[in-house]
Amino acid sequence: MNKKVLVVSSDNNHKISEIKEILKDLPVTVLSKTEAGCGDISVLEDGNTLEENAIKKAVEIAKRINAIVIADDTGLFVDRLGGEPGIYSARYSGENATYESNNKKLLEKLEGVPLEERTAKFKTVIAIVLEDKSIKLASGECRGKIGFEPKGENGFGYDPLFIVDGYGKTFAELGEEVKNKISHRANALKNLKKELKNILEDGENEDSSNK
């Protein structure tokens, strides 16, 4: 099977490495957007859903190159707050938001709410734009509760507040190794792998029937 080029709409080395690792047994060569010559592309994430934002990021790069392109978007959805911060997770406390200010705002909004009513989920959506410009989606979730104070030294964002169901610890307490096996992002990448495997196998079968 010939190798396909897969471009990730990111220059985040950690993200690229993670994707390379999970897709290593598929016939794809994974490139960052800069490696693909698209480092100058910057997309305003103004969609109303994670899906819209992920698709927008992938489509912008797919307009320029002939390769499979993937892009992702992630949000934290707190049930008691009607799904906040959701698509605004990264800038919840304003345009100059920091991890600390976002966490502070979330805790303030949940003040007085008991633990059993602080249920939440992290969700990651990955958009896949194929060479024929058709679009597929893969997603993953991880459920938990929002703690009363930050705990743990690892992770980033809301990780010190997110107590993972079945573990009784925050992502920041569990650490990268465990998080990378059970997280929303890990689940989305597993589903991405299944989706890509089917796409590549379908393409191979089509090529064979056309010979």
Annotated active-site positions, please? 73
Cis peptide leading into 85, omega within 30 of 0? yes
How many CB atoms within 10 Å of residue 165? 14
Q: Give the three-class secondary structure for 125.
A: strand
Cα torsion 100, 39, 43, 9: sign: negative
Q: What is the DSSP string of 45-109?
A: ---SSHHHHHHHHHHHHHTT-SSEEEEEEEEEEEGGGTT-EETTGGGTT-TT--HHHHHHHHHHH
**CA atoms of 98 and 124, how far apart (whole Å):** 20
**CA atoms of 8 and 107, how far apart (whole Å):** 34
Cα torsion 180, 15, 51, 172: sign: positive
